[in-house]
Amino acid sequence: MLVRRASEALAGKELDAILAGCFEDAGLSGVLVELDRALDGGLERLRAGRELPAAVGETLLWYRPPGLACSLLVMVGLGKSSDWGPAPLYRAVAAAARQAARKPRRSVALDTSLVLNDTSVPTAIAAVLAGCQGQDLYRSEKKLFAFEELWLPVGSESDFRTGVILGESVNLARRLVDQPPNVIYPGSFAELAADLCREVGIECDVWDEERLEFERCGALLAVGQGSARPPRLLLMRYRGGPADQPPLALVGKGVTFDSGGLSVKPTEGMKTMKCDMAGAATVVAALHAAARLKLPVNLIGLAGLVENLISGSSYKLGDVLTSRSGKTIEILNTDAEGRLVLADLLDIAVEQGAAALVDVATLTGSCIIALGNHVAGLMGNHEGWCARVAQAARRAGEPVWPLPMYAEYAEQLRSSIADLKNVGEGRAAGAIVAAKFLEEFVRGRPWVHLDVAGPAFLESPKPWCDGATGAFVRTLVEVARQWTGRVEETAG
């Protein structure tokens, strides 16, 4: 999509569509007054009759609006002005773009009611690109069509480029997650990711089963041993910073399909388990974006790729595994497999010299119970690093909420036969107990765990998205953008 600066008034510009927004608690102002004048008071009449959209993402479509040169005007609700920020901006713009993208359109413009200032531009562009892509990857008749060109009233060429890269990276993660499990499995994911890395100059090592055994990745290997498709591990390095800058590690869970293993999921719980590799997809897409943006930082990316299936060779309840770190783990639930994959990945990240770590995983249903489908759980071992990642998420408009990490939660993981159990005592505080398990493998390095089980995939379509969301790609890019090599400098 080509992005251009619109120097003239949109009302008289030949366009296929104009996207405009209105707050539910404010009258017409600024560019909306100009549009209303061109429409001979049409917007004001709609506002007076309470016909204009109000809630974030709610839309009204006006075809062939008299007085405008465009063929479609999309009005989108922005919610309350006091709540405005990156999160409602992203959803509102994506919802408006999604409506306009239902037919092929060459030129589309955002007006200043949506892009209020230059700092909004990259987020708005990313939202447009996301709004134009659905999960209809294998439909012969597509439902959504990308725009050829987008016109914005503000922003620089640098803003435009950043927004396009962020949007394309979000959509990259979404395409990976939306692919069916017969297409994306450990080997095919690894090949695709290696190709993506080569495109942008990221070093990428793919560890096969033999290398994983040599590296003593006993926890990861156990999860994958029930599948005919062997596991893979991606070790990626982006060297954009000074040679002496310690790297930041981004770590992603990549269970390309999760049946639950012998602790088998019910059918309804298994239908969307192609999305259990969303953490790995997020990490690959974020590194790809960082390289395209030429961020002056050093990054390590790790993705553990497995299928958690059932066969005569599946790992069993009661098994004791030896993780790469040497810690032993008693298995009491084979559906608590993501933490086993991450355990070995986190150990590798520390060994590779990471000064700080962020892992992303669709880890627990408990986090959805606690926070719902649109907020990720944030847990970690370093207050300043947690604050820094939360700050990056706020700037990206991707909601997170911190959960407590008191030492008492780890008591649930004590085993009478091994160093750890892989599950706690029942469902209570399940997301936190899973995070306390991961904490055992970071060797005290500053670490944040993002449980994205809710935000990563929408089982029911929303006005701004359906299927995979690409959530937290933009947050990881923002974390990387702010990386200096020292956590102390990023606290607060």
Tell me what pLDDT residue 27 has: 84
Bridge partner residues of 239 (DSSP):
298
Tokens of 179: 């692919």
Tokens of 469: 């969301």
Topology at the third CATH level for domain 2-155: Leucine Aminopeptidase, subunit E; domain 1 (3.40.220)
pLDDT tens digit at each of 492 positions of the chain: 999 998 766 766 889 999 999 999 888 887 888 899 999 999 999 999 999 999 999 999 999 999 998 999 999 999 999 999 999 999 999 999 999 999 999 999 998 888 877 789 999 999 999 999 999 999 999 999 999 999 998 899 999 999 999 999 999 999 999 999 999 999 999 999 999 999 999 999 999 999 999 999 999 999 999 999 999 999 999 999 999 999 999 999 999 999 999 999 999 999 999 999 999 999 999 999 999 999 999 999 999 999 999 999 999 999 999 999 999 999 999 999 999 999 999 999 999 999 999 999 999 999 999 999 999 999 999 999 999 999 999 999 999 999 999 999 999 999 999 999 999 998 889 999 999 999 999 999 999 999 999 999 998 999 999 999 999 999 999 999 999 999 974 443
From residue 147, how far is each of 15, 88, 107, 347, 443 by CA, in Å? 11, 22, 6, 44, 48
Give the catalytic positions in this structure: 265, 339
Q: Would you tell me which CATH number, out of the four given (3.30.365.10, 3.50.50.60, 3.40.50.360, 3.40.630.10), belongs to the domain 179-490? A: 3.40.630.10
Tell me what pLDDT residue 8 has: 66
Residue that has been written with the tokens 């990976």 in this structure: 176
Domain with CATH 3.40.630.10 in the chain: 179-490
Query: Residues 424, 412: contact at Cβ < 8 Å?
Result: yes
Long-range contacts at 34-37 (CB < 8 A, ≥ 24 apart)? 34/9, 35/10, 35/11, 35/68, 35/73, 35/111, 37/11
* Closest listed residue to residue 151, CA positions, set 99, 104, 112: 112
In the chain, % helix, strand, coil (3-state, to 5) comes to 40, 20, 40
Beta-carbon neighbour count of residue 391 at 10 Å? 18
Query: Residues 450, 400: contact at Cβ < 8 Å?
Result: yes
Residue 402 has phi, psi (to 5 degrees) of: -75, 140
Residue that has been written with the tokens 């992005």 in this structure: 3
Tell me what pLDDT residue 490 has: 42
Tell me what pLDDT residue 114 has: 84
Return d(Cα 60, Cα 63) in angstroms, integer: 10
Query: Residues 92, 110: contact at Cβ < 8 Å?
Result: no
Q: What does the buried/exposed string (b/e) look like for 264-283 if buried means 16 or more CB atoms within 10 Å of the residue's CB?
A: eeeeeeeebbbbbbbbbbbb
Tell me what pLDDT residue 11 has: 67
Beta-carbon neighbour count of residue 195 at 10 Å? 10
* Closest listed residue to residue 476, CA positions, set 204, 201, 290: 290
* Closest listed residue to residue 314, CA positions, set 341, 329, 330, 335: 335
Tell me what pLDDT residue 205 has: 98
Tokens of 474: 């933009």
Domain with CATH 3.40.220.10 in the chain: 2-155
- Helices 157-178 and 121-131 sit at what angle, rounded to 10 degrees? 30
